[in-house]
Amino acid sequence: MLDQKKVFQTLADHGVSFFTGVPDSYLNGFCNYALAHCGERNLIAANEGNAVGIAAGHYFASREIPLVYMQNSGEGNAVNPLASLADRAVYAVPMLLLIGWRGQGNTEPNHPQHKLQGEITASLLELMHIPYTVLEDDDDKFRETVEKAVRYCTEARGAYALIAPKGVMADPDKPNNVDACYPMSREEAIEVILDHLPADTIYSATTGRATRELFFLREKRGETKAHDFLNVGSMGHASSVALGIALTKPERQVVALDGDSAAIMHMGAMTMVSKVHAPNLMHVVLNNGAHESVGGQPSAGHLVDFTAVAEACGYQTVGKPVTTEAELIAAIEALRSCGKASFIDCRIHKGLSRKLPPIIFDHREAIDALMDDLNR
């Protein structure tokens, strides 16, 4: 991994000292250094497009070149503001883009959700006429690259991308930071939900730890995985998939096991229940206030009143977050037959309750099993 102290000193030497973006495991060294040392000059955004907009506003107000960080899967969220708001033919916003390169080559054969994104990472930049450099684990070359990139940004008033392959900006050891903020872990909360809803309930689990923990809980409990949709990749869309299933199969209970960062990323999806009748949908946000899957950086999860937001969007709630097993059980019992789409903000602590291996499964086989179950 590049020496992160030198990385930030190099950026500062070239006038880059404002950072915004969405944390990524391939960038966890960078993100954690920014979190520890940059204070209010580092702003974790709701999504990557939001980060581009924040960066543009910073440039307009300061004339300083900002840096936007993201996983390459987040390029999709960033395309619209990069191709319009920031484009050189429009408002010509210079910025550095630091992009973690998941799915490069055949580096992640067990994670097909990264394969296509890995293949098109550079091509998307080329389509948007954004020049880029693939970084190496070499501090001197990094300094040379930043000098070239900042010169381009200044002279052309455009974006320049720094693509970070595995190991260049990431510490391979991600600590399991457990706090005591709330008594339940995510895995414990998921098991409570499994225990108190019908055995044939359909679950749509969000990207990251929720998918992994649901997968291995099914194995531990000896239960079928045919009722589960594991939303690998496509962060923020698990609840939308759940809604689509719930509307089509009104006789089945459907639960979205969401994360706070994922729900925030595409919070507009929550408004959809105001337009439809989906009483069989239960949306549970497993809220630990962190981007845990990529390094534990803080989210706005514990700062946002999800319950008030959900009620305003048309969900039935119990009027407050739940924080204990007993409160979660009571909420499930109160809401499962309430006659409307329901929502639970389930506050949990950070950290994993046990160490789990990566999920390895046949994605087409899994989705075909779910489809067979839904269409029998």
The reported pLDDT for the residue numbered 174 is 65
The reported pLDDT for the residue numbered 149 is 98
**Measured in whole angstroms, how far is the alpha carbon of residue 109 from the centre of its chain?**
21
Two tokens, residue 166: 């595995």
Pick the CATH number of 4-164 from 3.90.550.10, 3.40.50.970, 3.40.47.10, 3.40.109.10: 3.40.50.970
102 closest CA partner among 133, 73, 79, 137:
73
> How far is 280 from 243, CA to CA, in rounded Å?
9
236 contacts 279 by C-beta, under 8 angstroms? no
Two tokens, residue 295: 């390094």
> How far is 289 from 349, CA to CA, in rounded Å?
8
The reported pLDDT for the residue numbered 26 is 95
Q: Centre a 10 Å sphere on the Cβ of residue 82 and count the other Cβ atoms it contains.
A: 27
Q: Do 4-164 and 186-374 show the same overall fold?
A: yes
Q: What is the pLDDT along the chain (376 residues), one digit of tens a residue?
A: 999 999 999 999 999 999 999 999 999 999 999 999 999 999 999 999 999 999 999 999 999 999 999 999 999 999 999 999 999 999 999 999 999 999 998 777 778 888 999 999 999 999 999 999 999 999 999 999 999 999 999 999 999 999 999 999 997 766 667 788 899 999 999 999 999 999 999 999 999 899 999 999 999 999 999 999 999 989 999 999 999 999 999 999 999 999 999 999 999 999 999 999 999 999 999 999 999 888 889 999 999 999 999 999 999 999 999 999 999 999 999 999 999 999 999 999 998 767 778 888 999 999 999 999 999 9
- CA 275 vs CA 169, 243, 247: distances in Å: 43, 12, 12
284 closest CA partner among 347, 219, 212, 213:
347
Q: Phi and psi (nearest 5°) for 232?
A: -70, 135
Encode 205-231: b = buried (16+ Cβ within 10 Å), e = exposed: bbbbbbbbbbbebbeeeeeebbbbbbb
Q: Give the containing element (helix H, strand E) for 285.
A: strand 281-287
Segments making up each domain of the chain, as ranges: 4-164, 186-374
Q: Which residues contact 103 (CB under 8 A, 6 or more apart)?
A: 72, 111, 114, 115, 116, 117, 118, 119, 121
> How far is 205 from 110, CA to CA, in rounded Å?
18
Two tokens, residue 128: 């948007």
**Measured in whole angstroms, how far is the alpha carbon of residue 188 from the centre of its chain?**
21
The reported pLDDT for the residue numbered 178 is 75
> How far is 42 from 60, CA to CA, in rounded Å?
17
> How far is 121 from 98, CA to CA, in rounded Å?
12
Strands 95-100 and 132-134: unpaired
Q: Centre a 10 Å sphere on the Cβ of residue 23 and count the other Cβ atoms it contains.
A: 29
The reported pLDDT for the residue numbered 141 is 98
Q: Phi and psi (nearest 5°) for 148?
A: -65, -45
Classify 201 as helix, strand or coil.
Answer: coil
78 contacts 149 by C-beta, under 8 angstroms? no
53 closest CA partner among 88, 21, 6:
21
292 contacts 235 by C-beta, under 8 angstroms? no
Q: Which residues contact 134 (CB under 8 A, 6 or more apart)?
A: 101, 122, 163, 165
Burial (0-12, 13-18, 19+ Cβ within 10 Å), 352: middle
Q: How many residues does the chain have?
A: 376
CATH 3.40.50.970 fits 186-374, yes or no: yes
The reported pLDDT for the residue numbered 175 is 63
Two tokens, residue 254: 């459907």
The reported pLDDT for the residue numbered 176 is 67
